[in-house]
Amino acid sequence: MEPLFSLIRRAPVTWWDVFDILIVALLIYEFLKLIRGTRAVQMVLSSAAIAGLFFASSAMPLQTVNWLIRNMLPYVVFAAIVLFQSDIRRALAHFGRARFFRLFTKPENDMETIEEVVVAARILADQRTGAIMVIEREIGLRNYIESGIPLDAEVSYDLLVSLFQVTAPLHDGAVVLQEGRIAAASCFLPLTVQPLLSRELGTRHRAAIGLTEENDAVAVVVSEETGKISIALDGRIERGLSPEQLRSRLRALVVQRRSAPERRPETRAFQV
């Protein structure tokens, strides 16, 4: 009974205690949101089972089991980091997009860049020329820029249209726009592994989805088969946009994101 009496006799709860509990609760809540629907759920359940087995082996005379868990635990941690590196990277990227960290980023006006992208997308759609244009936001795309051909050119629809012509040497790959400039062309992007995607989606659409699964970039895709304009964000894709709708979406996602929360379209507007 002594632990119970000591708990009753402890100092009264202060506002700092409440604040401390709220922070821990918020971190747990955000962690559960991040792992919901991912492979990390099975990892958490397995870790909980191993932890329960460890405490049970400590309470009962199961010395072999206790020794095995204690010696394997460090290796299990490293194995989990390797196996779930994409989920960990996505979680850290999501945490870095919090409003608190946006206070340290410099303001920018991308209206001209958006207008050039919209005009280029319209021309390419009319020509039935495939294209994928990626706009960097808070998370850097240096890894993908280094995989392509560096340009560091001013954004113009003439240049964008020229880059994606079939006869152009840099047409195969993505163009990455960074800080109002064309950083690189012919960039390689990771393909998504989502099993439930529509079979109508080609390599460009799957590359746009795969890229936006790992960071907060916005990818504009033009289909060479149908001439439809699509936009990919957060691992999902919205298809069949008109130039006016594309302009409105990019303004909301790129220009107005610092002054207001992002307005995402209804779930039915996405093809998954």
Neighbour order of strands in the sheet with 131-135: 149-154, 181-187, 174-178, 131-135, 218-222, 229-233, 236-241, 270-271
Write out the H or E segment, with its range, that includes residue 132: strand 131-135
Residue-level pLDDT at 70 = 81
The CATH H-level superfamily of 111-271 is DNA integrity scanning protein, DisA, N-terminal domain (3.40.1700.10)
Residue-level pLDDT at 196 = 72
Residue-level pLDDT at 105 = 47
pLDDT along the chain (272 residues), means of 10: 59 80 86 68 77 83 83 78 71 60 51 91 94 90 89 92 93 90 92 78 89 91 92 91 93 70 40 41
CA distance 92 to 89: 5
Residue ranges covered by each domain of the chain: 2-96, 111-271
